[in-house]
Amino acid sequence: MGHNYIDRGISGQTTSQMLVRFRRDVIDLHPKVVIILAGTNDIAQNTGYISLEDILGNLISMTELAQTHHIKVILCSLTPAYDYPWHRGIQPNIKIPRLNAMIRNYAKKHRVTYVDYFSAMTDGNNGMRAPLSKDGVHPKLAGYKIMEKISSEAIAKLVGK
């Protein structure tokens, strides 16, 4: 694909964990752009309960840190999930759209690029379309291709390529 990307995502991590390592894993690398896709593991309560407002606060902190260091930010919607196989019944199908709206509103208000994976991947019931995921949460190659196209277009607009 020819992109000069560095993947610093760690499966299962929450925004609080990402924020702790943001300086080392992003700022110290001096990228032109950072793509921040996070929050579903918080909603899944991987490290315990956290409010949607506190998840957004962590995303805002990462955004502000990046901007302070002249790194352009792309904030991403969370991908759809109707339920989490490892923690059933906590209603990600309701919480993810709410958090996505909060992220989108913040991005608009603060002139931060926002990309919407959710709309491109939803089954219409706030779950992920079956061909895009084996478990309804984690994308397969087909899902990642959709995400790559959306992200690549946003990066091109930001850096003028």
Instruction: Note the pLDDT tens digit of each residue in 54-111.
Output: 999 999 999 999 999 999 999 999 999 999 999 999 999 999 999 999 999 999 999 9
Instruction: Indicate the Cα dihedral angle 43, 20, 4, 101, nearest 10°.
Output: 30
Phi and psi, residue 150, nearest 5°: -65, -45
Structure tokens at 107: 């991005």
What would the pLDDT profile of 30-55 be if each residue is shown by its tens digit?
A: 999 999 999 999 999 999 999 999 99
The per-residue DSSP string of 1-17 comes to ----------TT--HHH
